[in-house]
C-alpha cells in the first residue's frame, strides 16, 4: 500500500476503529499483528509493517500457541483499551493509533506508531513521545529515548500538483518512477496505472491526461471502492481493470490470501535482518556502557578536588572513618567525603588522585570507541536499507555482520542440471549450495534467473561473450526457473532476469541467499516448457 492507499483504508475504517475496545492482540507471524476489536460487533484490524498493509480483515489467521515478548508487552498496554484516534502522517506511510486505558492508577494513554514502509517497516509503542518498545531494532526507536520520526520526503502534495509540474518531472524520463520520486503518496502500482492510462489517451497532452487521472484517483481516497487486479496482483481503491469486490478491505484480503499461497511474505532477507539486529543490539549495549562511563568521567575534577581537601587535613584525620566532613577553603562550605576505613587520609587522597587520573586518561579512548561503534550501527542500518531496497549491502556493512546461525548441512549434488537451448548452455541448481556454486562459476555477463518471491533454483545462461541472448532462449530459461520453484503449479510466474554482475551475495549469508542490484521481470507459464 502506498500513501494514498493507506489514506483510503483509514477513511473507510475510521468510524469503526475509533471508539472500539481492543479485546486482544496476537501475532500470527513475526511481522504480522491482528487486533481483535469490539465495535458494532467483533472486528479484526490487520497490521503488517513489513508488507506495508493495514486494514480491517475477515481473514482467518492461525493463533500462535506461545506469544512473543513483544506481543505480551502490547497486550499489557493495549488490551481493554479504547482507540481514541487513528490517523496518518500527511501522505506518509506512517499511521498513529492512540489508545486510552483506565486502571487503578488512572487514565493511561499510549501511542502505537506503525511505519508501513515495506521490509523496513516497524511497529513502535510510545508513551509521551518516549519509546517503550519496538518490533525491530532501530536507532530512531530506542527504548527509554525519544522517538525520532522518519525523515520527511520532499515531495509535492498530490492535491497541489499542476500540469506544469507534471510536464517538468516527465521531461527527463517518461516513467512511473518520475511520478513516484516527485509526488507524495504515490507508489509503483498507482504511478504505473496513472501513466499508462494517460499515455493511452492520444487526444490530450500527456501532462493534462496525467493530471486528470491523478485527480480521478484522489477522488476515491475519501470514498474507496474495492478492485482486485489479478494480473498485476494488486488491490486497488479506485476503478480499474480487475474483479470488483464488495469493499477495499475485501480486495486487500484477496491480495493477502494470494501472498500466503505463493509464500511472498518471506522476501529472503529474514536472516540478514536478524543478523543486523544482533549486530546492532550488541553494539548498542556497549554504547550504553560507554556513555555511562563518560558520565562518570565528568566527576574527575570533583575527585581531584576532594583529594586536595584530604591532603590539606590529612594529619588531622583519624583512621577507620567511613566518611568525613571538611571545610572547603575556596567556598567556606562544608564538604562530606566518603572514605575507605582501611586507609589513612593520605592513602584515601592518593586513591582519589589515581581515579581522577584514570578517568582523564581514558576519556579520549572511550570517545573514539563510542564514535566508532555509533558509525558501525549507522553502517549496519544503511546496509540493511540498501539490501531491502535491492541495491546490495556495502562491503563495510557486510563485514560488520555477526555470524549467522549454523544450519544443518545440506548435501551438495555432484553437478547441476544442464540444458542446451539453441546452442546456449543453461545450468539449474539442485539445492541452495549448488545455487551458490553455479553463481560463483558464472561470468559477469552471464544471465541469472530466479522465480520472483518464492523459493526455487538459480538458473544461469552461459552467454560466452554473446552481445545479446535471443529472447526465446531467455523465455525457455525462465520457464525452467519457474518449473524448479514452489510456484511450479501456477499458470503465470514472474521470473527475475539480470546479469550475474548485478547479483550480490552478502558476507556470511546462508547458502542460496542473494541480493539483486537491478533486475527485469518476465512472466511465463511453467507448463509450456519443452526440452530442446
According to the model, what pLDDT value does residue 96 have? 96
Residue from 457, 444, 463, 515 nearest 483 by CA: 457
| pLDDT tens digits, 175-210 | 888 898 899 999 888 999 999 999 998 888 999 999
Q: Phi then psi for 78, rounded to 5 degrees?
A: -110, -35
Task: Note the pLDDT of residue 93.
Answer: 92
Give me 332's grid cell: 567556606
d(CA 134, CA 123): 6
For the chain, residues with pLDDT lower than 70 are 119, 260-271, 273, 385-393, 403-414, 507-509, 530-532
Distance CA 297, CA 355 (A): 9
Cα 320 to Cα 343: distance, rounded to the nearest angstrom: 7
pLDDT of residue 385: 65
pLDDT of residue 267: 45
Q: What is the pTM of this model?
A: 0.54
- CA–CA dist 252, 49 (Å, integer): 15
Burial 331-362 (b: 16+ CB within 10 A, else e): eeeeeebebeeeebbeebbebbbebbeebeee
pLDDT at position 183:
93
- pLDDT number for residue 18: 94
What residues contact 394, with CB distance under 8 A and at least 6 apart? 379, 382, 383, 386
Amino acid at each position: 500500500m502506498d500513501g494514498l492507499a493507506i489514506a483510503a483504508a483509514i477513511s473507510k475504517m475510521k468510524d469503526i476503529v475509533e471508539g472500539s475496545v481492543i479485546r486482544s492482540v496476537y501475532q500470527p507471524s513475526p511481522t504480522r499483528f491482528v487486533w481483535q476489536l469490539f465495535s458494532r460487533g467483533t472486528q479484526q484490524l490487520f497490521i503488517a509493517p513489513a508488507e506495508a498493509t493495514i486494514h480491517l480483515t475477515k481473514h482467518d489467521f492461525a493463533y500462535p500457541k506461545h506469544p512473543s515478548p513483544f506481543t505480551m508487552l502490547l497486550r499489557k498496554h493495549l488490551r481493554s483499551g479504547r482507540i481514541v484516534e487513528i490517523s496518518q502522517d500527511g501522505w506518509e506511510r506512517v499511521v498513529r493509533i492512540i489508545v486510552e486505558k483506565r486502571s487503578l492508577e488512572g487514565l493511561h494513554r499510549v501511542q502505537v506508531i506503525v511505519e508501513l514502509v515495506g521490509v523496513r517497516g516497524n511497529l513502535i509503542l510510545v508513551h509521551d513521545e518516549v519509546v517503550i518498545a519496538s518490533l525491530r531494532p532501530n536507532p530512531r526507536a530506542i527504548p527509554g529515548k525519544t522517538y525520532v520520526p522518519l525523515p520527511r520526503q520532499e515531495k509535492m502534495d498530490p492535491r497541489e500538483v499542476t500540469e506544469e509540474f507534471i510536464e517538468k518531472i516527465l521531461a527527463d524520463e517518461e516513467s512511473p518512477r518520475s511520478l513516484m520520486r516527485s509526488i507524495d503518496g504515490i507508489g509503483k502500482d498507482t504511478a504505473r496505472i496513472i501513466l499508462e492510462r494517460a499515455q493511452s489517451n492520444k487526444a490530450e497532452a500527456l501532462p493534462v491526461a496525467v493530471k486528470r487521472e491523478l485527480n480521478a484517483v484522489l477522488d476515491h481516497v475519501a470514498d474507496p471502492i474495492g478492485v482486485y487486479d489479478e494480473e498485476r496482483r494488486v488491490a486497488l481503491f479506485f476503478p480499474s481493470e480487475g474483479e470488483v469486490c464488495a469493499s477495499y478491505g475485501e480486495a486487500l484480503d484477496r491480495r493477502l490470501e494470494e501472498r500466503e499461497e505463493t509464500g511472498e511474505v518471506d522476501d529472503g532477507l529474514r536472516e540478514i535482518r536478524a543478523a543486523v539486529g544482533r549486530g546492532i543490539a550488541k553494539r548498542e549495549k556497549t554504547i550504553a556502557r560507554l556513555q555511562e562511563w563518560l558520565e562518570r568521567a565528568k566527576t574527575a575534577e570533583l575527585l581531584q578536588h576532594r583529594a586536595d581537601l584530604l591532603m590539606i587535613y590529612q594529619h588531622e584525620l583519624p583512621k577507620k572513618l567511613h566518611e568525613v566532613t571538611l571545610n572547603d577553603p575556596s567556598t567556606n562550605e562544608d564538604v562530606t567525603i566518603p572514605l575507605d576505613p582501611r586507609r589513612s587520609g593520605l592513602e584515601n587522597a592518593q586513591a582519589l588522585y589515581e581515579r581522577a587520573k584514570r578517568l582523564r586518561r581514558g576519556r579520549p579512548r572511550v570517545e573514539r570507541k563510542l564514535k566508532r561503534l555509533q558509525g558501525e550501527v549507522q553502517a549496519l542500518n544503511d546496509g540493511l536499507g540498501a539490501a531491502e531496497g535491492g541495491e546490495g549491502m556495502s562491503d563495510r556493512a557486510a563485514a560488520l555482520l555477526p555470524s549467522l546461525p549454523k544450519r544443518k548441512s545440506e548435501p551438495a549434488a555432484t553437478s547441476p542440471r544442464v540444458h542446451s537451448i539453441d546452442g546456449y548452455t543453461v545450468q539449474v541448481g539442485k539445492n541452495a549450495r549448488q545455487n551458490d556454486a553455479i553463481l560463483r562459476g558464472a561470468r559477469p555477463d552471464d544471465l541469472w534467473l530466479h522465480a520472483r518471491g518464492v523459493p526455487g533454483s538459480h538458473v544461469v545462461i552461459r552467454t560466452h561473450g554473446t552481445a545479446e541472448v535471443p529472447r526465446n532462449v531467455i523465455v525457455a530459461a525462465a520457464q525452467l526457473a519457474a518449473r524448479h520453484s514452489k510456484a511450479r503449479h501456477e499458470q503465470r510466474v514472474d521470473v527475475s532476469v539480470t546479469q550475474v554482475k548485478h547479483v550480490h551475495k552478502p558476507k556470511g549469508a546462508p547458502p542460496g541467499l542473494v541480493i539483486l542490484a537491478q533486475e527485469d521481470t518476465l512472466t511465463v507459464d511453467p507448463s509450456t516448457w519443452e526440452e530442446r
